[in-house]
Amino acid sequence: MSFINVLDKGYVRLVNHMGTDLAVVNAARVSYAKESTVLTDRDIRLIKFLAREGHTSPFRHAMLQFEIYAPLMVARQWWKYVIGSAHFEGTGDSLEAWNESSRRYITEEATFYIPATDEWRSKPENSKQGSGEVLDDRIGAKLTAELLVYIDSGMRKYEEALDSGVCPEQARLFLPAYGMYVRWYWTASLQSVCHFLNQRLEQDAQKEIQDYAKAILELSKPLFPNAIDQLIDRDLAQEEDVNEDRISSL
């Protein structure tokens, strides 16, 4: 599997990857001029040791590349893991890459995330962020209808601006931004991917980005089953274990 649909129109696609669990092992063993050709129980114990003791540099020798299509509100949360990804590396250079589609150059039809009537959530009772319970369906229906009207108005103004000769980079000001889908490539080390997963699989993370994190985990786990098992918080991994139909390798 290399493609998972997320939300109403989004997706995550595994484009490429470099390495396996064995790459982590051999990056660690090079200090002693040793190399494994087949992953053994001894190698798995080494991966556990590296993760447990915080020897994380070997996990940065494995890389994953994804294409992601998500609403802008998800993309901007995600972006923080690029600009802040020197959190544990100490070099100021994360070796991550992010390339995103731009409406300075393209005028393809805009696509928007539109929550269904049963997907609107209330404010949380005891927190300044996140969300609470699902709102009454009648309120949800009203919000979905109002959002569609708002998007339609913005799209008409955007198209009118283009027809009037306005450049695309300014015409896009009329588009409702936060729900608009954007497409990007994200390339990151296995360690950075797992850091993202540990943060965004949490129950207090925004639900929409949780859904994308679950897709990233589902696509990554078969490639690095032992390393991810050790780098992902055990409570989060156990939550994902419940859904064995979707993530059979957990």
Alpha-carbon gap, residue 26 to 34, rounded angstroms: 7
Answer yes or no: are the C-beta atoms of 71 and 10 closer than 8 Å. yes
How far, in Å, CA of 128 to CA of 72, rounded? 21
CA distance 5 to 212: 9
Per-residue 3-state assignment (H helix, E strand, C coil) for 48-101? HHHHHHCCCHHHHHCEEEEEEEEEHHHHHHHHHHHHCCCCCCCCCCCCCEEEEC
Q: Where are the beta strands (DSSP E) in 120-189?
A: 181-189
**Run of H or E residues at 164:** none
Active site residue 138: no
Among all chains, which residue has been given the structure tokens 């990857």? 17
Catalytic residue among 60, 172, 183, 200: 200
Cα(81)–Cα(183) distance, rounded to whole angstroms? Answer: 17
Q: Are 236 and 202 in contact (CB under 8 A)?
A: yes
d(CA 203, CA 75): 19
Catalytic residues: 200
